[in-house]
Amino acid sequence: MIQVGIIGGAGYTAGELIRLLINHPEANINFVYSTSNAGNAITKVHQDLLGSLDLKFTDTINPNVDVLFLCLGHGNSVKFLSNNTFSKNTKIIDLGNDFRLEKDKVFDGKTFVYGLPELQKGAIKKADYIANPGCFATAIQLALLPLANKGLLNDDVHVNAVTGATGAGTSLSETSHFPWRDNNFSYYKPFTHQHLGEINQSVKQLQNGFASEILFMPNRGNFSRGIFATVYTNFEGSLEKAKEIYKAFYKDAKFTFVSDDVLHLKQVVNTNKCLVHLHKHNNKLLITSIIDNLLKGASGQAIQNMNLMFGLEETTGLNLKSTYF
């Protein structure tokens, strides 16, 4: 069994990670580290897990676990790894943004591989350290990479994407307070969202000459989980040609699928899937991309990466049914 350690165990992504791991046939949770909850039962925080595990949070670590998941706030993974040492055999998967960019990928002799399986599965299989992609970044990249792979992103790309309330994390803020969020809608960080760096990096990995702008408008929705992204750009080919490009690019993908039908968010909530739909209007190609922000956008993709790193079938522990009704 793969012995797993989790750092920062009280948040939404950690809760989903624990839920997936306790049902994973090849993994065992060795410890869940949380200084603010040390000694408390994990089910006191993650109440949906009552009856599923009998484990307490701890403020001590086992440096010899096989894999370590970092579920810390952005910027805190570097601090944690600077103050704690693990076995040279311990693989690390960081769910934050500390190591996603090329300029940040090397830390303390460790080289982090960007963990988007649809982009670089081969590199992930050989990696010891993974930078798990961001949630918006996952949805938007999966909408764009087939075009980039063919060198067809030659104009500005317009993105409008809505995320659920869990995307803001468990810390309270004005915009996550229920009376504010309920029956409400707003944008934030227009054109400047932090995930743009990794999106541009991946696009240029496939289309080195990409010089246009990705104009991203992130929005807060009044639902709990999921991301619904609509992306459009100029495309001179036919809709049939676009579908051919996308279906060929994702023909071996285990969790990304091209739908001929219009999408809605409930199709992916509680799954590790990304669904993509294409629509052509005049010279514009509209790509819709939907994911669960906590699963394909975070913890599910982290487990997908773990499976690849340890030579397991990629879908192990991730055959989940959507909460369609």
Is 315 among the domain residues?
A: no
Is 194 among the domain residues?
A: yes
- What span, in angstroms and rounded, lies between the C-alpha atoms of 88 and 232? 45
Residue 98 φ/ψ, nearest 5 degrees: -65, -30
Q: How many domains does the chain have?
A: 2
Q: Which domain holds residue 147?
A: 135-291
235 in Cβ contact with 152 (< 8 Å): yes
**C-alpha atoms less than 13 angstroms from C-alpha of 124 in its C-beta half-sphere:** 26
Is 321 among the domain residues?
A: no
Where do the DSSP E strands lie in the chain? 2-7, 27-33, 67-70, 91-94, 106-107, 110-111, 113-114, 129-131, 157-163, 186-187, 214-220, 227-234, 256-259, 274-281, 284-291
User: Do 142 and 53 fall into the same domain?
Assistant: no
Which residue has tokens 């500390």? Answer: 98
Q: What is the pLDDT of residues 162-190, one digit of tens each?
A: 999 876 555 556 677 677 778 888 999 89
User: Do 58 and 100 fall into the same domain?
Assistant: yes
Q: What is the CATH number of the domain that holds 251?
A: 3.30.360.10
Global confidence as pTM: 0.95
135 in catalytic set: yes
Is 257 among the domain residues?
A: yes
- What span, in angstroms and rounded, lies between the C-alpha atoms of 213 and 218? 15
CA dihedral 204, 206, 207, 209 (to 10 degrees): 50
User: Do 168 and 190 fall into the same domain?
Assistant: yes
| Predicted local distance difference test score (pLDDT) of residue 75 | 87
Given 135, 147, 229, 298, the catalytic residue: 135
Is 111 among the domain residues?
A: yes
Is 323 among the domain residues?
A: no
Q: 98, exposed or middle or buried, with CB in 10 Å at 0-12, 13-18, 19+?
A: buried
User: Do 236 and 280 fall into the same domain?
Assistant: yes
User: Do 305 and 286 fall into the same domain?
Assistant: no
User: Do 33 and 147 fall into the same domain?
Assistant: no
User: Do 126 and 142 fall into the same domain?
Assistant: no
Q: What is the CATH number of the domain that holds 75?
A: 3.40.50.720
User: Do 179 and 286 fall into the same domain?
Assistant: yes
Q: How far is CA 282 from the centre of its chain?
A: 33
User: Do 102 and 168 fall into the same domain?
Assistant: no
Per-residue pLDDT of the chain (325 residues; tens, 9 = 90+): 999 999 998 888 999 999 999 999 999 999 999 988 999 999 999 999 999 999 999 999 999 999 999 999 888 999 999 999 999 999 999 999 999 999 999 999 999 999 999 999 999 999 999 999 999 999 999 999 999 999 999 999 999 999 998 765 555 566 776 777 788 889 998 999 899 999 999 999 999 999 999 999 999 999 889 999 999 999 999 999 999 999 999 999 999 999 999 999 999 999 999 999 999 999 999 999 999 999 999 999 999 999 999 999 999 999 999 988 8
Is 322 among the domain residues?
A: no
1 in Cβ contact with 27 (< 8 Å): yes
User: Do 125 and 195 fall into the same domain?
Assistant: no
- What span, in angstroms and rounded, lies between the C-alpha atoms of 246 and 170? 36
User: Do 71 and 173 fall into the same domain?
Assistant: no
User: Do 254 and 303 fall into the same domain?
Assistant: no
Is 178 among the domain residues?
A: yes
| Predicted local distance difference test score (pLDDT) of residue 325 | 80
